[in-house]
Structure 1
Amino acid sequence: MKMADAKQKRNEQLKRWLGSETDLEPPIIKKKKTKVKFDDGAVFLAACSSGDTDEVLKLLDRGADINYANVDGLTALHQACIDDNVDMVRFLIEHGANINQPDNEGWIPLHAAASCGYLDIAEYLISQGANVGAVNSEGETPLDIAEEEAMEELLQNEVNRQGVDVEAARKEEERIMQRDARQWLNSGQINDVRHMKSGGTALHVAAAKGYVEVLKLLIQAGYDVNIKDYDGWTPLHAAAHWGKEEACRILVENLCDMETVNKVVGDCSFSFNHFTILFKI
């Protein structure tokens, strides 16, 4: 994702949220005067978005998860940052919100504030321990996606003050995955945990991001090259979709199924077309 697209992408996410289940009041069914029980997490997100702190406190007292995330992995804290609602940002953090919780694409709340240019929110997040070296799925730190000069200056100064090694941070995920894959290979036991919402595995991540050495180690350890996530995507779908040619070659060489269809025909078609272009078949 290019830096110039970052804010637009978050704005599109916000537009998708408007009118979604988290934005709507619980529907009422007239039959027998009963109400449909709305998802507790969705109700919590809606209360936070409306700025109703009294209702939010009631929901928290009843056991609501302050770090509940929607289908995109956005928490109430992410949303408050996108909405430029500094009061709600403060309220949520004061009541225990995870300041560094990533969404499905690895964006922490500081990424959101940085991309939107909300300096006061970014300053507050940093003062409360936000990780200025956090790297999203595209390998970008909050500084990378900041577009306004004041935001860039704030984040650069903090990176310098903390002595953050940005390049090392970019490689940290791959380093950890390589370490784990080697341990699984040596022990003869794979201890991977699927992503809670997507069902993605370490093999999907390695394929999608082109972590070639990790991919090889996982396959050596006995990982199923045709394992599917909850949408039916195999590692080959992921590698082809993100244009990781070498990952595609490794999977094909290890006899992955090239004809597997996922649950989203459009995505599958795009991935396979991309795959045929990469391999000129």
Structure 2
Amino acid sequence: MSRNFLIDSFQSTKDGSKCGINPMSKKSKTFWNKLFVILAMALLTWELRADSFELNGEYTDLFKAVRRGKLEELEPLVESFIAQGKNISDALNEPYPSGLRTHKQNLLHEACKWDRLEIIEYLISKGLDVNAKDELGLTPLMIAVSTKHRYYNKDSNSVTTSSISSEKIRYLLLKGADPLAKSKSGMTLLHYAAYRGLDWFVEDLIAAKMDPNASDQNGWTPLHSATSGGHKNTVEILIRKGGNPKVKSEEGYTLIHIAAGHGGANLDLIPFLIQNGANINAKLFDNGETPLHIAVNKNDPQIIRLLLANGALPNIYDSGREKNTPLHIAVTFNFIECAKILLEYGADPNIKDGFNKESAAELAKRMGHRQHMSDLFKNK
């Protein structure tokens, strides 16, 4: 895609109100921050299958035609709809019979979700707003960038995954899609592109002056998104273009916290973040968990060993109600391999927690029915 074209798209966006929403009250902020993270990440990790999700409601036939990419089916349905004096923009999807929410998306959202360029062109020609937002504040362009398309072929019993269509993105921008739009949670196109690892689009967006440190209502930046997606190359691009590797969300999540919670995809990323100044022992604001606490909670020996080898403190306390060390967590959940690695790197089995005043060794012996774990502490 031409960078000049994308820059022109940014410069043509004059309505400053499109770039954000009113801040929420401090009283409700923490709750809604957590909710928005869940909603945003649920959308970002949504993988679509052509044979999944039964449609429901008055506009089922319209949405089915869009989903199948059958313009010859869609055209007569739309013409009939308009002939009845109805507005095609009012055709919104409804909850599935299972109760799964659909966030009141229109036919253009649906076409972008299923990568149907011919359908997208047709619907825009029929007057559908290229910047229409669903209940989460997502535009068709956001859907196009954020959705991973996964199709099941019943004949060959195989699954294929399509890449995000640059042609589709370019077409939406040509038709006036707002590159500065934000979702209700404050996420930008750069957040979505970073999560998907769309390096070409990330570079274009930054070249068009989009801030690599733009944060949503939770303080999550595109770097958090790229790290969540396990895209080391995207993280490198963002940092090279001015992204802050020491960034923290409003709850204290650093990039290493995120990387530690996403396992093997980030084995190469964690050392890179440390080399760029990230604090491997940073604590979350509410419970004081470090990346090492998170990795132990995830029962991830590979990440635990990597963190310890790069300077993670094995005896560091969290600041939750029980004030646990990573070793206390490993013993509590009977994560034997994790406990072995922690002991190997100097975890003290005799340090007591801050609530029960019990050491990891005492805890292991008290839970004697877990023989293999208690065996680790026989001489401790």
Q: Which TM bucket (shorter chain)?
A: 0.3 to 0.5
Structure possessing the higher radius of gyration over alpha carbons: 2
Q: Determine which structure has the larger helix proportion and give its number.
A: 1
TM-score w.r.t. structure 1 length?
A: 0.46
